Amino acid sequence: MSKRILICNRGEIAIRIAKAVKELGYTAVGFWTDNEQEPPHLEYCDEWVYLQGSNNSETYLNISKIVDLAVEHKIDGVHPGYGFLAENTVFAQELNKKDIVFIGPHAKAIELMGDKAVSKKIAKKAGVPVIPGSTGEVETVEEAKKIASDIKYPVLLKAVAGGGGKGMRVCNDEVELEKNFEAVKREALSSFGNPGMLVEKFIVNPHHIEVQVLADKKGNVFHCFERECSIQRRHQKIIEEAPSPFIGSNEELRKNICETAVNLAKEVGYDSAGTVEFVMGEDYSFYFLEMNTRIQVEHPITEEITGIDLVVNMIKAAFGEDLDINHQAEIELHGHAIECRVCAEDPLTMLPAPGKISSLDFILPQSVRFDHCLYNGFEIKPDFDPMVGKLIAKGFNRSAAIKKLNYALDVLFIDGIKTNIGLHKIILKEQNFLSGTYSTNYIATVEPMSEIDSLKSDNDLIKKAVALELKFNRESL
């Protein structure tokens, strides 16, 4: 019997979910709002629902309004995507009260893993290594000083709730700790409504490694290998790849970190797609960071190297259906995939740069996927995240993936707005990236933005050549 799935999101992830819903033979229902009256994802949906409101608080973050609409339109399940209400325990609970399936893990898992202090305790119980530091929320600066003295500087002050790089400050000594303590509390309260924080040992030159897990409601938990997410700005990822070039051919380490993620998921009875994030030191020791109880932005690179449709299986798991896989051994790693997040932002300052697209053109090479929500005339508004698309290249090996991605970046033209495409071009040709030895300090130490100006003349020539080629090809058809 066909199910009606409400997509409680927008942009490229709403398009991605709509495709998965329709592949399963279900009805995809999408939102439009006063702030986006003709959002591109509706083209992929079977039905449109009006979510009244002109800002996120009135629309995508309004739990009661969304639940009422779901009931009114006889919705069977709601997929939250990522961001907005994707990891909101109350939202999942309110839907369940109305016998509507929340397409994600059970509410208790969201609650437990959404609190960094609680999740750290659960990780310890599951035998998962955790970063040395506080075992719970730190209430006073004196308590923070004591912990920092025990674990030695540098330390990281980190908000208990939230993510995205907010509510985080590195402190190299006691003076910096005193200076940053209240600032982190204020930022945490402002961003997440919770001033609680942790004090942790700061790992120097760390690698951000995450493991994709997939679980059903029958007790089966699988891993789909790891992703390297160490190219970041302001603690936010911009390039991800799978598998991790830092782990490389160390299959024992790969098995260890992946099985550790599975053990943590089993500890909370996890039953959906999710990601266990780790920080890995230069000595290959790794520690639990957090668990994201939702689909990740970078899920496509895992899909490319495993052939598993994570969104389809996430929906199946939510309704208690069998997954496409029965045994861990069925999940094999093939090739290498890299994703560049295409953002409407200044490539020098890396700050959001909203605007209207005046021209969009691309002819992508084979094995390159562009998950996006763009069209000529599309307006990127400051109300939403600046990411507008994801360019994903799959190759037989890492070198082949990089070559394909370089080609794809050269033929992706988005005019009318500033984007970080130029920054990606520089990074993909930079020696530290090519060698796979980069850490989360990459942007700060390599400073690829300094070479942005050198791309302008080359870009103009490439653009003119491709435009002529496109014109010739169209006229000859």
- Return the CATH superfamily for domain 132-201: ATP-grasp fold, A domain (3.30.1490.20)
Q: Residues of 159-170 as b/e, b for ≥16 C-beta within 10 angstroms? A: bbbbbeebbbbe
Q: pLDDT value at position 161?
A: 83
Handedness of CA 291, 295, 301, 304 (dihedral sign): positive
CATH topology of domain 207-463: D-amino Acid Aminotransferase; Chain A, domain 1 (3.30.470)
Q: Are 236 and 163 in contact (CB under 8 A)?
A: no
Instruction: Locate CATH 3.30.470.20 in the chain.
Output: 207-463
Q: pLDDT value at position 455?
A: 73
User: Measured in Å, how far apart are the chain's first and last C-alpha atoms?
Assistant: 44
DSSP-H helix ranges across 329-455: 398-410, 421-427, 431-435, 442-446
With CA atoms as reference, report the closest residue to 247 among 210, 295, 294, 217: 210
Instruction: Locate CATH 3.30.1490.20 in the chain.
Output: 132-201
Instruction: Locate CATH 3.40.50.20 in the chain.
Output: 4-103
Q: CATH classification of 4-103 is 3.40.50.20, yes or no?
A: yes
With CA atoms as reference, report the closest residue to 239 among 84, 398, 353, 451: 398
pLDDT mean values, one per 10 residues, the chain (477 residues): 94 98 98 95 97 96 98 98 96 98 98 92 95 90 96 93 79 96 92 90 94 98 98 93 98 98 98 97 94 97 98 98 97 98 94 96 95 96 95 98 97 96 96 95 92 68 54 54
CB neighbour list of residue 312: distance below 8 Å, 6 or more residues apart: 20, 23, 24, 324
Q: Is 234 a catalytic residue?
A: no
Q: pLDDT value at position 66?
A: 98
The one catalytic residue in 16, 294, 369, 398 is 294
Q: pTM above the 0.85 mark?
A: yes
Nearest-angstrom CA–CA distance, 331 and 349: 40
Q: What six digits make up the tokens of 422?
A: 């130029």
Q: pLDDT value at position 465?
A: 53
Residue 95 CB: number of other CB atoms within 10 A?
Answer: 27
